[in-house]
Structures are given as C-alpha cells and as structure tokens.
Amino acid sequence: MTVLAVDAEGVTKTFGPVRAVDEISLRVAPGEVYGVLGPNGAGKTTFLRMLFGLIRPDAGTVRVFGRTWAEDDVAVLDGVAGFIESPKFYPYLTGRQNLEGLALLDGGVRPGLVEEVLGVVDLADRADDRVSGYSYGMRQRLGVAASLLREPRLLVLDEPANGLDPAGIRDMRALVKRLAASGLTVLLSSHHMDEVEEICDHVTIMRRGSVAFHGSLDELRSMAPDPGHALTTTDDVRAMAMARSTPEVRAERVAGGGLTVTGPAHEVSAYVGSLVRAGIDLRGFTATRTPLQQLFFMLTETDVDDVPDPVLEGTR
C-alpha cells in the first residue's frame, strides 16, 4: 500500500477563543499538487505549522509519510521541506553563499546540488549577487531552492506567490509546475483560486477553520455557478426589462449604473446580441469573477444556509 504524503485526521487547534483549525481531515497522495485554499484567517498557516511540528494539535493526528510528531518526533521531517510565510536569508551574503551556509548547517549536501537547485529556480545567473539586491520574487524562489537542498519528497509552501508582482507570480507558478512535473509532491496554501486552479490537482477549501470543500479541481469546476458579467448600456432600464423576459439570464441593477448579468455563456451572448439588435448600445461588457472565483466566495463568505444545495452537496 502506498503511504500517503500527508494524512490528517480530525486535526483541531485552538488559540484562546479562536478555533483556528477545526477538525480538518485531508489526504495528500504522493505525486499530487494539493492546494489548501482559504481567505485570510481561515487557518491555512496554522494547519501547515502543525505539519512542521512548529505547533501541536489539540486533537487529531497529522501523519507525514506515515509518521507522527508524537511517535517519531523530528524524524517526521525526513523527506519534507518548505517554508511557512516568507523565507529569511542573510541579505549581505549572495544567494549561493546563503545556500552553501544552509547546506553546511544540514551536515553537507551532495556535490553539485547547490548549483543544481539554483538552476531549477532560475537563479543561476544571479547566484553571486547579494540577496539584498534580490526582488521579493527572487527571494521566494531562493526559499524554494533552500528547501530543495533537502531533496524532499514533499514540498510545503505557505502562500508562495503572496506579495509578488504579476511577473513574480508567473515565475513562481511556473516553478511549482516544473517541480510537480518532476514528481515532487507539493502541498501549498493560497488565497487565490486562480493559482490553485492553475497548478493543483486537489484542493481543500477552508472557511473559519473548517473544510468548506474537499475534492479534485474537476469536481470543483462541475459545481461552479454561471459566469457573471458587468454590463453598461445606453439604456439600462430597457436592458433590464429585456433580461426579465429572458429566463436563462439573471440581471440586477448596480447602484451607480449598469447591470450585473449572470447566466450560461451562450445565453448571455444571445441576450447581448438582442440588446444590440434592439438599438441599445453597449458601453462596457466585462467578465467579473470567474465561475470558480464566484464559487470560492460562495463557499467562504456566505452563511452555509445561503449556499445553494448543489454547491454544498459535494462537500458533505
């Protein structure tokens, strides 16, 4: 039987009155890219801290490759690397010197590995520059390089793209995809649905410490609502009236002007076409949230009683 990379069962952690993590169970199979997604304060970092043994659960068990902190102590970390929040480096040393220092502290690494990991994270040509001159994105990638020095089987990344500019986000996502393609198991937290959608196979969506959704990205997509659009026209009143007589399309007036239009993509385009044919010109027509983003907000912001049953069914 294959040993799961992570097997968490009923994990709970309370800080005073706050239930940061409330009976979370999740399983990460070897080779998977697993996302833990949730808004700020959902409990993602607290959960990842427990994997690294930085804090202990009040209840439940976390197994990492079959090991637990209670039974195996620091041996849990064999084959595991990563960082919680942002990695820290000596700014006055170069990227390479920082990695060499870390390798030394770890009792040495195989020859050529420092060079290899610098190449993997695309920092080979900046390796001899001081870290003080690195962009935030380069520091994050150096953090991944430092983790790779341990030649892990499981890489744990806490919001690796947080605070990065669009180019940094692109580079970090490309890096995670490359690592995943090499067979590494990756567990990452994020509060961006698009990040998880782009790189993860499975996701747990957290909401105030609890699981709001568990499953594959395909399952999640199948539950997503219709896409929404912001529409402004030369005659919003008539556009609204025409939407009322189009059953598949739902429209709402927006304070300050315009409508929000929701419905299956082909029905929305047919509706927009009919507006134009009726002599109503479009001033603006843009997609608002993608269906998955919309679902994310429904799962994490709405009171559970307000979430339509088809959305919640998959989570029960």
What amino acid is encoded at 181 in this protein?
Answer: A
The only residue of 30, 41, 53, 101 in contact with ligand ATP, by rule CB under 6 A:
41
Rounded to whole angstroms, how far apart are CA atoms 296 and 235? 32
Report angle CA 163, 92, 147 to the nearest 5 degrees: 55
The only residue of 45, 98, 204, 293 in contact with ligand ATP, by rule CB under 6 A:
45
What amino acid is encoded at 249 in this protein?
Answer: V
The only residue of 15, 90, 92, 297 in contact with ligand ATP, by rule CB under 6 A:
15
| CA of residue 263 relative to chain centroid, distance | 27
Q: Are 95 and 129 spatial neighbours (Cβ–Cβ below 8 Å)?
A: yes
The only residue of 4, 8, 11, 20 in contact with ligand ATP, by rule CB under 6 A:
20
The per-residue DSSP string of 186-229 comes to EEEEES-HHHHHHH-SEEEEEETTEEEEEEEHHHHHHH----EE
Check binding of 18 to ligand ATP (CB under 6 A).
yes
Nearer to ligand ATP, 48 or 117 (CB): 48
Shortest Cβ 209–ligand ATP spacing (Å): 7
Nearer to ligand ATP, 68 or 210 (CB): 210
Check binding of 11 to ligand ATP (CB under 6 A).
no
Cβ-count burial of 33 within 10 angstroms (0-12 exposed, 13-18 middle, 19+ buried)?
buried
Nearer to ligand ATP, 24 or 249 (CB): 24
* Short-list 295, 303, 308, 242, CA closest to 271: 242
Name which of residues 188 to 227 contact ligand ATP (CB under 6 A): 191
Nearer to ligand ATP, 13 or 229 (CB): 13
Segment lying near ligand ATP (by CB under 6 A), choices 14-22, 25-33, 218-226, 300-308: 14-22
Shortest Cβ 192–ligand ATP spacing (Å): 11
Check binding of 38 to ligand ATP (CB under 6 A).
yes
Shortest Cβ 268–ligand ATP spacing (Å): 33
What amino acid is encoded at 304 in this protein?
Answer: V
Q: Are strands 185-190 and 154-158 parallel, antiparallel or unpaired?
A: parallel
Task: Please give the residue ranges that form the binding site for ligand ATP (CB under 6 A).
Answer: 15, 18, 20, 38, 40-46, 191
